[in-house]
């Protein structure tokens, strides 16, 4: 049984736990501001296992982050324990050369209240608060403007990048999925040389005024739209920032 107080303490949340949209917005934002998106276990050759108790323990007790399957899998468990109706959805992420990845490329969440909402704490840089699952509606978020475009039986999530210009984030269908269905792509992303997760280590977390990211040996700070980068001089510097800024001790 999930230890709700411990999970809420992990994300520094002490507000209402009633299963409302206000609570959903608050815990979603709190999760993104405290639990980093990171793939550090892959470089360490630590197998990522998609079992709910394992990923919850990693986030809550070990005070780690993870990638989409772990973060959204754990967050789904928390929301269910709070009384929300949660559906796991399979998403496909655009590829640089065109087209999309296969099904189960990404795990995102549908939350049903008086209307359906899209929640996602496992994509890295995305929206801070859940979006209405309503096609064509431009939605203002602290992280930018987003919209859902309906493509047949699928939805495509897009973010505004310039006046009249939108960038695809991912597409998803509405068929309910089980966590174990993502195991094959989870294995691929942590083992295949073609996966971007095996090509570069990353740890990134939202901040109230921007984002902090460790990408390889590069530290990237974004504050109020201003971006700063610096290359770290040693693995010791990298480990120090990982501990000081993300609370992770490998």
Specify which residues 177 forms β-bridges with.
Answer: 88
CB 2 within 8 A of CB 81: yes
Counted residue by residue, the chain has a size of 250
Closest residue by Cα to residue 118 from 143, 103, 139, 102 = 139
SS3 of residue 206 by DSSP: strand
Return the active site residues: 68, 106, 120
Burial of 145: CB neighbours in 10 Å, binned 0-12, 13-18, 19+: middle
Q: Is 186 helix (H, G, I), strand (E, B) or coil?
A: helix
| Residue found by looking up tokens 């309906």 in the block | 150
Judged on CB neighbours under 10 Å (0-12, 13-18, 19+), 49 is middle
């Amino acid at each position: 049984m999930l230890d709700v107080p411990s999970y809420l303490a992990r994300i520094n949340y002490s507000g209402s736990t009633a299963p409302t949209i206000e609570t959903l917005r608050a815990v979603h934002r709190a999760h993104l501001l405290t639990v980093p998106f990171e793939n550090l276990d892959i470089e360490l050759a630590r197998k990522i296992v998609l079992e709910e108790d394992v990923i919850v323990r990693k986030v809550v007790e070990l005070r780690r982050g993870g990638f989409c399957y772990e973060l959204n899998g754990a967050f789904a468990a928390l929301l269910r324990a709070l009384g929300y109706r949660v559906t796991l959805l399979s998403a496909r992420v655009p590829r640089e050369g065109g087209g999309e990845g296969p099904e189960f490329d990404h795990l995102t969440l549908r939350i049903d209240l008086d209307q359906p909402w899209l929640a996602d704490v496992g994509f890295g840089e995305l929206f801070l608060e859940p979006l209405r699952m309503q096609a064509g509606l431009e939605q203002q978020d602290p992280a930018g403007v987003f919209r859902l475009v309906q493509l047949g039986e699928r939805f495509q999530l897009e973010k505004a990048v310039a006046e009249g210009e939108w960038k695809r984030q991912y597409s998803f269908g509405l068929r309910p999925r089980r966590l174990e269905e993502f195991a094959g792509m989870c294995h691929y992303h942590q083992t295949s040389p073609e996966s971007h997760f095996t090509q570069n280590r990353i740890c990134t977390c939202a901040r109230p005024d921007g984002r902090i990211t460790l990408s390889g040996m590069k530290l990237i700070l974004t504050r109020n739209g201003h971006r700063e980068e610096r290359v770290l001089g040693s693995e010791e510097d990298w480990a120090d920032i990982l501990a000081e800024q993300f609370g992770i001790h490998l």
